[in-house]
Structure 1
Amino acid sequence: MKKVKVLFLITAVMVTLVIAGCGVVVDVPITPATGSIRICTNSPSIYGTLYVDNSNWGVIDGANVVGTSCLGGTLTFGRTYLVEVVDYSFGTGSYCCRYITPQYSGQVFWLP
């Protein structure tokens, strides 16, 4: 009878230790933060279509003649993007290239 009690006690302790060591981990993917940024230029030699990772953001114009000197959009923070300005109107090619990595909403990047 004593052996049965000892065996029962050891079994109860082992089951308790196994249950205490087990836990449930909920693995939820972290959604990357996004926010608005601006890309600007004050260089009159920069004119054309602004592309951010091949996505057209509109016409940017450092001289403010036919476009605006700043364009904005929404990007993911911490990710690196390729920025280029393509000017096909004069056949002169493009301003190429700059990499940007946004860190916070409202950040402004300047094209020289």
Structure 2
Amino acid sequence: MNPADSAPPKTEPLTQNMWLGHEQQLTFLAEAMQAMSVRHECSMESLRDHLSSLSAAAQGPAAASASSPPLRTSPVSDAHLPPPERYSGAPGSCRPFLIQCSLAFELQPSAFPTEK
């Protein structure tokens, strides 16, 4: 029997389920990456301000008061992400669901004040 003559193998339902919601997963991950980028940029700016004030303080008290920019005291707000889709129970959708949960925990720490 010639393998080229045989019909193509059927796609398993598990594989098909893995691709369902793919676009939604990508959108969620893109939003999460954007939020992480914003938080990173705010952290870097705060670090630059802090280093600048430390440098000015090392030059002397008079120079520190004249050239030091005021320190930012406003906390970086949590990113607003949609809640993860409800887990369907399909083994193929477990990993994306857990990734969504871990991103939500990391990017919205004030929404989860306890381990519960």
- Output the TM-score relative to the length of structure 1: 0.22
Structure showing the higher helix proportion among its residues: 2
- Output the TM-score relative to the length of structure 2: 0.21
Structure showing the higher strand proportion among its residues: 1
Larger Rg: 1
